Copies of this chain bind each other. A is one copy, B any other.
């Protein structure tokens, strides 16, 4: 009836009645039932955002980018967390789709068959984010982690480092870290360099792990002149350890991480790293969804590759 019109600001309603309705609504503490609304209108202003983790420092920043854009629209993000588990991803997606969201933003391009099938069948805009090394279901925005690994390898080799160690997370969990590693070793190989030592961790405080792994690795392979870490947190741990040991950075030994986490500005030395364009990814993804939801002419799927930039900090340029 008229009330519905008022509450949504649609249709022609006289000033008078509008005021009355609004007053009554506030008076009663009326909160519209979106469930009924959504069922009737077949429209839901929710965007499902599916990410592996919140405690990662990288996804909150993606979320910020998404929210910033979605706040300008009537769309709302709803996040689901998979803990890097494909089965959980499947479950979470299923749950979210059963609420018929207007779009899906999902991390990564690696999904189970069932997940891909659901995404395809959903009939709503899908944006896979973070990574562009793969075939998207629909749209995709991210960086090439393989290329990021290569870039870092080239920069390191260009500075003359030759005995290189690698530390990172256990790979099966994290496709993007794996791709960076692959790109890294591949580019080094082109220079005739092999990764001299490597170690992988799993769980625990990243800073402490970085410290421990660095100590262990240097004990094992004292001749290393560069350490590449798959994320900034363990890199920071390594940096602190090396500084304590009094090693000369970056001349004696160089370091680099990955992510460009702002959090770490303030370390004794600025760790070399690479920006993963996190908030830009979030913004672009949200824009794609918003556009597709709003526009009349159904746009084409987009595939956007952002360019990560190396920041040399104080730990890579030998000068």
Contact = CB atoms under 8 A, between A and B. Distances in A.
A70 B263 CA distance: 30
A240 B263 contact: no
Given A39-B35, A64-B55, A207 B95 contact: no
Interface string A67-85: 1000000001011010000
A237 B236 CA distance: 13
B263 A207 contact: yes
A5 B294 CA distance: 37
Contact of A60 (B32, B55, B205, B265): B55
A95 B76 contact: yes
Interface string A194-238: 000000000001111111000000000000000000000100010
Interface of A: 29, 31-36, 38-39, 44, 54-55, 57, 60-61, 63-64, 67, 76, 78-79, 81, 94-95, 97-100, 117-118, 121, 205-211, 233, 237, 240, 244, 262-268
A29 to B, nearest CB: 5
A240 B262 contact: no
A113 to B, nearest CB: 12
Contacts of A267: 207, 240
A210 B264 CA distance: 11
Given A78-B78, A205-B266, A34 B244 contact: no
Contact of A265 (B36, B205, B264): B205
B67 A60 contact: no
